[in-house]
Structure 1
Amino acid sequence: MAKQENNGSMVTVGSRSLPLYPLVIGILGLLNAILILTAIVIGIYCGKVSEESAPDQITAQGLIIEVKQLQIMQTEAVKAQKEAEQAVEKELREHQQLKLLLGLNKTLIDSIQRSHEVLQVERATLKSNLSDIRESCGRCQSGWLLFNTSCYFHGKSASNPGRQNWQDSRSDCIRRGADLAVINSLEEQLNLFEFLPKMDPKIRPWWSTQGGVLDRPYGYSNKGPMGLGKQCNSAESRVLDNR
């Protein structure tokens, strides 16, 4: 049992009286030593724990760094993919525009080619007409044959391919301002027959006003039927005189 003296400087422990301050200092020193030992033990323990967990911490940090790097690479890859898709879309648009332009150019070229062909045909027709006019000295229409002082025309054409009887043939001749031709000489006959289209005699029967079948073709002139007597022209071979 401890009893404190009234003066406060002594402490009675059992039958002994001890100074107060040295006792307190001794107790505090003991507590300090205990705390130091406890701290040392805890430090040693924490050091061991840190050493044991250090590899795991390093591994985790490395994984975090790798994950971040992979995320960066993924972001760059996505960006590159979008840029590539945009480039492909741009190329496709340019390809479609080029294809459309080529189609328009082809259409234009075809149109120019057709116009050129039409102009070529018109040019050839004009040259032919000019040649005919020069040959006839302007006295016959284009497509008519000038022989001596008469103009002759072969009436069978793409616009009039069918055969006609004598009256219809003569009416057609008169409509053109001429009449059925009359051959007055062998020279005239040879020249006119040279001008007429060559046709297969097996498929061109000739006829006359008497209903007989003729053995040679006839044409138009302002002198009457070509041939002898009342024989007249066939539908395939008729020559007109417009003057």
Structure 2
Amino acid sequence: MNLLEVHKVSKRFGGLQALNRVSLHVAEKEIVGLIGPNGAGKTTLFNVINGVYRPEEGRVIFRGRDITGRMPYEIARLGIARAHQIVRPLNELTVLENVMVGACFGRENRSLRGAREIALAVLEQVGLASKRDMVAGQLNVAEKKRLEMARALAARPYLLLLDEVLAGLNPTEVAAMLEVIRAIRESGITVLMIEHLMHAIMNISDRIIVLDYGEVIAEGTPQEIARHPKVIEAYLGDPRLSYSLLEANGG
């Protein structure tokens, strides 16, 4: 069963066509990677899905319900949460208090007491339980990435949108974060993630969707995508990325 369906979505900014009749689906309990060169429209698509932007054309269907153009807070209540590439914790609050915010404004609309229970469980899940009383501003980059994910998870989503959560992490931190993402899927949460780190996205995704110039140019398994002619062509402008795309699958 498809949890999310995007039907022929288009988004323009003045004369710039950021998305052009994009269609895709995400099934329940999948990890789907969304890749493409810089400026391909990946984050714009996320912004359409979670209500930051209203598309000029097309529809977004979530759990059988048309959520096109709904406000972000409404979509959060319906069960879509997002972790952003640029983390912005509430630096003066503790780690625990930051995660409680996600529970208070998420799908279950928890009270402070209920939010604390959820936050404690989520911090354990992402490996930040020992930091719960630390002021969020004192965390390092990897810990702030985990905090961003924890705050999204505390909203009790059915679908988790991850926007480059591996950016800025060293190889050990990347490996640890991938294990967290796998555990999230095993808990029953569906994941749609944007990532430029090819080795990581190729190894964790069930399927990969490729955007270029606002259009879907390919979709398939990591092995199919790594050798897809249009995908290789799209990355030729950045030799490092095209090489890593093939290297990720032993090419």
**TM-score, normalized by length of structure 2?**
0.19
Give the number of the structure with larger relative contact order, counting CA–CA contacts within 8 Å between residues 6 or more apart: 2
Larger radius of gyration: 1
Between Structure 1 and Structure 2, the one with more helix by share is 1
